[in-house]
Structure 1
Amino acid sequence: MTARTHRLDAGVRDAMQAVSAAAKKGFGDAALAELVMIRASQLNRCAFCLDMHLGLARGLGVEGRKLDLLDAWEEAGEVYDERERAALALTEAVTVLTDGFVPDTVYEAAAKHFDEARLAHLIALITVINGWNRLMVSRRIPPGGAPW
């Protein structure tokens, strides 16, 4: 597959990178941040972002089993702890707004595991990876391809 275009305004790129960096830093859990970004990218079928974030997760030492079973995290038993499950459920709810909103039960479950600041950063992280996914998928940027 070839990219439709590599054009992306530098200001847009820089702003999105800044939001990504701020969300990751404020969230404070790099490994879980990568799992969240991978899960959103799976849902959005973004090969470019999957390739990038799987590599980053491996570099952080995320267990291979967690990466292998992420697409079926709900059925994976004790592979994911309750905190990870809450973050992944929130990721899916924000990414796939089937009912037009994030269900209260999903939000409340996440709020049990993350204080208000970390929860805000988690939502920002999910939002920005969805933006990146849409930028890459709509332009058909292939895995390992130049994104700009």
Structure 2
Amino acid sequence: MSRTTLLDREVGQAMSALSAAAKKGLGDPALAELVVIRASQLNHCAFCLDMHLAIARGHGMSEKQLDLPAAWEEAGEDVFDERERAALALTEAVTVLTDEFVPDAVHDLAAKHFDATQLAHLVGLIAAINNWNRVMVARRIPPGGYTP
């Protein structure tokens, strides 16, 4: 049996609206792309990685930052600042849910760097990209086809 490549237009539009609203509310396009890239790495979504790496380059992210999200903890603060590191930690905790919950320490660290509204949008963005990753991976959509 072959997999469908179709995505219901209304579903796709709703998912796109969620992503756009979360990014807009976060107010930092480069950070939003960093979060999306890390979640997509964790979810093994080649399509989303390909697309969001191109978008991140358009926002002026350094190649070093684009090369090292998977090793952000070891990369040091000269690559990712405290705010980016808090966002990456929250991204991993929400995406993986290893203990079935986001640890309080991870949430509290993010809350030190984001106000309540930004934090809500950050969590919304993480949820949105996890949805996109699952939709793309489930259908095995290959990278390519995205032009910035």
TM-score range, shorter chain: over 0.9
Distance in structure 1 (CA, Å) of the matches to 2:17 and 2:129: 12
Give deviations 1:89-125, integer Å, cap 9, x for gaps. Answer: 0000000011111000000000000000000000000
The equivalent residue for 1:14 is 13
Deviation, structure 1 residue 76: 0.3
Distance in structure 1 (CA, Å) of the matches to 2:69 and 2:19: 21
Matches within 5 A, 1:19-98: 19-78=18-77, 79-98=79-98
CA RMSD after TM alignment:
1.1
Give the letter aligned to residue 86 of structure 1. A
Q: TM-score by structure 2 length?
A: 0.95
Kept in 2, the 8 Å contact 1:4–1:141? The answer is: no
After superposing on structure 2, the runs of 4+ consecutive aligned residues of structure 1 that deviate more than 2 Å are none
Indicate the percent of aligned positions where both proteins have the same amino acid. Answer: 72
Q: TM-score by structure 1 length?
A: 0.95
Gaps of 5+ in 1: none
The equivalent residue for 2:4 is 5
Give deviations 1:44-82, integer Å, cap 9, x for gaps. Answer: 000000000000000111011101111100000121000
The equivalent residue for 2:140 is 140
* Matched position secondary structure for 1:144: coil
